[in-house]
Amino acid sequence: MNPTSAEERDITTKTTFMQNEPYETLADGDYELEERQALRRVAGLSTELQDITEVEYRQLRLERVVLVGVWTTGTVTDAENSLQELKLLAETAGSVVLEGLIQRRQRPDTATYIGSGKAQELRDTVIASGADTVICDGELTPGQLRQLEEVVKVKVIDRTALILDIFAQHAKSREGKAQVELAQLSYLLPRLRGWGGNLSRQVGGRAAGGVGIGGRGPGETKIELDRRRIRERMAKLRRQIGGMSVARDTKRSSRQAREVPSVAIAGYTNAGKSSLLNRLTGAGVLVEDALFATLDPTVRQARTPDGRRFTLTDTVGFVRHLPHQLVEAFRSTLEEVGDADLILHVVDGSHPDPESQIAAVREVFSDIEGARGIPEIIVVNKADAADPVVLARLRMLERHSVVVSARTGAGIAELIEVIQRELPRLDHEVRMLVPYDRGDLVARAHEEGEVLSVDHTGDGTVLHARVPSMLHAELDRVAKPVETV
């Protein structure tokens, strides 16, 4: 082959390029500049997108999880219902559930929760399904978490960590965020693990070198430093939550001073508590078909058909095996239940096992100071979607119950009548002549008490009503008993 001169090569390049660009002649070097500025696509390297220009249509990649539970008591239906609830929790947290496994055991294995052999089978399931997370239906010890992770080779979390994660996503108020952070730190503290350099000494020994007096000795490890900082943060959060609860305590004491009855709406998560509050008061609280959609308590005012004022409080939802860290952190919020005069215990009538929900909520009630002796009305919600047989069974088991539908409004009138009947009666019944210049006392009787009759005379207003103690004392100073007139 004859060598080609540089001039001939240049001519050949220009000729080829001009044939590709018939409408425009480019100067020398323009072709190389375009080549350098061009963005070439390499076929076969895209992972999710068909076209890189459609970035706005890209979907968020959710965690792919495998659920595993240990069935120790009850029937297989109970175990499956518990895993179904874990599935809803996992989906609420933002994951895709691929598999669900249950193992029958007398008690969870102390090492790997499900035993070494079943842990290997779980590892095979994780590999076959392509999961990146395993969620256990129970609270695991730090040792169980570590050893199970060593076998399955993916992230392992338990039911408690999952619920705490959901609470962290849904907390909106400053107090709610502080309560969730405190619960998460309480859960994290005994589960801290050192990884590589985290176990290294901060100072001490020969590494101290020339730090002088106070620098000699073994020193403090990084994990000890982390624990100390977590404890300091927890102490600070407790002080903040204590300060935030002062405002709620002040409002509560003001209502108690006026003797305004308080009704607390409590129950299982996603049972329709916020929907019921909206139906009774028009509060406009967020309603969503999701677990733990609302965490912050909401207090609204309502009136009975006879005009008596009372407050309705929407509380945080409960769940089976509610983490004790959350009960401790949300204690100031749960006090709304302990200080109530009446509890509306809302139950999801369309749930496959509503009786277990009632038992789980009452278990939490037992941990709330002062909640045991409060009158309770079982409000079976979602009657429009429930099985009539289940509703009849619930009404037979819970004699003090009302069946309603917060969505359609069915049964709400009956519920209001029951609330009016169950509210504590006012202590003082008065029949007094109130001067016309103290019409404010008559207005307070309408607002705070139960007015039975009003008669206007030439000397003043004859008021027959049931009133709270403070109003009775003021009426006693100003008004005259009707019998003395």
Report the pLDDT value the prediction gives residue 152, as an integer from 0 to 100.
Answer: 92
Note whether 63-166 and 428-484 share their fold: no
Among 170-174, 196-200, 433-437, which is the least confidently predicted range? 196-200
- Flag the least confident range among 3-12, 154-163, 317-326, 406-415: 3-12
Domain limits, the chain: 6-40, 63-166, 258-422, 428-484
- The residue among 368 and 348 whose pLDDT is bigger is 348
Q: What is the CATH number of domain 63-166?
A: 3.40.50.11060
What is the CATH code of the structural domain delimited by 428-484?
A: 3.30.70
**Per-residue pLDDT tens digits for 242-278:** 887 777 677 666 655 556 788 989 888 888 888 888 8
Asked if 391 and 349 count as a contact pair (C-beta separation under 8 A), the reply is: yes
Confidence of residue 24 (pLDDT cuts 50, 70, 90): very low
Q: Is the pLDDT of residue 50 over 50?
A: no
Which residues touch 146 (CB under 8 Å, ≥6 apart)? 193
- In the predicted model, is pLDDT for residue 20 greater than 50? no
- Whether the per-residue pLDDT at 306 is higher than 60: the answer is yes
Task: Give domain 258-422's CATH architecture.
Answer: 3-Layer(aba) Sandwich (3.40)
* Mean pLDDT estimate for the chain: 78
pLDDT of 37 strictly over 60: no
Convert the pLDDT of each residue in 93-148 to its tens digit: 888 999 999 988 889 999 999 988 999 999 999 999 999 999 999 889 988 999 99
Which comes out higher in pLDDT, residue 12 or 165? Answer: 165
